[in-house]
Amino acid sequence: MKLVKLSIPLLLLVIINSEAQIVTSSYGESGMFRMAPLTLIKAPEIGYEQIKGSPYYTSEFHKSDIHFSNGKVYKNIHVRFNLYEKVLEFKRGDQWYKLTNAVQIDKIILEGEEFKLIENSAKLYDNGFYEVELNGEYKVLRQMSVSFREAKVASSRYVETVEAEFVREKDKYYLSLKGGDIVSFKNRKSFEKIFDEENPELINFVKRNKLNPSKVDDLKKIASFLNENS
C-alpha cells in the first residue's frame, strides 16, 4: 500500500490578516474563538485508520492554550499534532482542520506540556513544533517525527509480507540559543566548536562533569548552567 497525500480541492475556511475584520467562532469549551492571523483548511479523509501505527503525537484532540506572538492567548482549543505531515490540526464539532501557516503562533500548552514553534529559512533543521524539555533563555527542545513505511508483498514463501505502517522515529534533542537558532551535538567535540572561545567556563564545566552534549540529561545540565550564568 502506498500512501499518497491527496491533492483534491480543499475548502478554505478563513484567512484573516491584521487589517481584516475579526471573526469570532464558537469553539467547544472556549466559548468564542476569535481567529487571529491563521489559515485553516478542511482536512480530507485520508484513511489513516487503515494503516498500522499512528501519525499523531496523540490520536485524540486535547484542550490546549495557544499563545500568539502578539501576546494574545486562546484557551481550551482542541488540537493535535500530525507528526508525519508536520502540521497542527484543530477540531470544531465533527470536522477537523489543518493549520497551513503557524507563523503567528509562539507556543502551545497541551496537556501541561509546552510546544514551541521553530522556523528557519536556511533549512538547517525541520520547521515545526518542538516540545520544550527545559525552559529558560536557553532551552532544551525535543523534536518528534513519524515516517511511513510502505507495504511489501512477499516475493516468495520464504519472505513475509510487510504491512504499511507509520513508524515513530527516534527523538532528536536540540539546544535553543539566545538568538532563536537551535543546534544539536553528536559529541563533545562538535559542542566545543561552538562554545570553545565564546564560553571557556562552560567548556570547563562540561569537562569537569564529564558531560556528553548528545545525551538529553547532560544537555539539560548544560542549558541550566547557561541560564544560571548568562
pLDDT in tens, 73-91: 888 888 999 898 888 888 8
Q: Tell me what pLDDT residue 161 has.
A: 80
Domain range annotation of the chain: 12-184
Per-residue model confidence as pLDDT tens digits over 162-202: 888 999 999 999 999 887 789 999 888 888 888 876 788 99
Q: Has residue 216 got a pLDDT over 50? A: yes
Per-residue model confidence as pLDDT tens digits over 51-63: 889 999 988 999 9
Name the grid cell of 111.
496537556
How far apart are the C-alpha atoms of 194 and 213, rounded to whole Å?
12
Q: Tell me what pLDDT residue 220 has.
A: 97
How far apart are the C-alpha atoms of 38 and 100, rounded to whole Å?
8
Mean pLDDT for the chain?
77
Query: pLDDT band at residue 212, thresholds of 50, 70 and 90?
Result: very high
- Of 60-69, 76-85, 86-95, 97-106, the poorest mean pLDDT is in 97-106
Exposure string of 71-101, with b = 16+ CB inside 10 Å and e = fewer, is: eeebeebbbbbbbbbebbbbbbeeebbbbee
Which residues have a Cβ under 8 Å from the Cβ of 193 and sit 6 or more positions away?
A: none
